[in-house]
Structure 1
Amino acid sequence: MEINEDLLEKLIKENHEFKKIHDQHSKLKSRVEELNKLKLITPEQEIEKKKHQKEKLILKDRMGEIVNQHQSS
């Protein structure tokens, strides 16, 4: 999803749902990056990573919907 910085900042400031989703997405992204840096990963960590990746995609799709709605109006 390509979104310009001005629109991103505006949505974060003005749209509570977008801000909440964006914050959640950022936290999940950080956790996945932490797990990716591990040399050895346990089966539990692998499951956690996959779960977070799926959640991130769902959140990214929802952010895209909000952006599209905002651009249409």
Structure 2
Amino acid sequence: MEIDATLLEKVRKENQEFKKLYDEHSSLKNRVEELNRLKFLNAEQELEKKTIQKQKLKNKDRMQEILSQYQATLH
């Protein structure tokens, strides 16, 4: 689903839950990228990466729900 940048910015400013999820999602994405740059992941790092990826998906799903609610109020 394509999200309008204007709507995204509006929701980030107006909805604290969305802003928190968005910021956390960005931080988690950066951490996964750091782990991906390593040549070898030990078991702890592999588990961390999988846990982060699951959390990112949960955040993304919830952010999508919030955006859908905002879009519904626009129509």
TM-score range with shorter-chain normalisation?
over 0.9
* TM-superposed deviation, 1:2: 2.8
Does residue 9 in structure 1 map to residue 9 in structure 2? yes
Q: Distance in 1 between matches of 2:65 and 2:6?
A: 17
In structure 2, list runs of 5 or more residues that go unmatched.
none
Q: What's the CA shift string for 1:16-48, capped at 9, x where partnerless?
A: 110000001001010001101101111100000
Q: TM-score, normalised by structure 1?
A: 0.95
1:1-73 equivalences in 2 (<5 Å)? 1-73=1-73
Identical pairs, percent: 62
Q: Quote the offset at 1:7 in angstroms.
A: 0.9
Q: 1:8 offset after TM fit, Å?
A: 1.0
Q: Which amino acid aligns with 1:27?
A: S
Equivalenced residue count is 73
Question: Aligned equivalents of 1:39 and 1:5: distance in 2?
Answer: 35
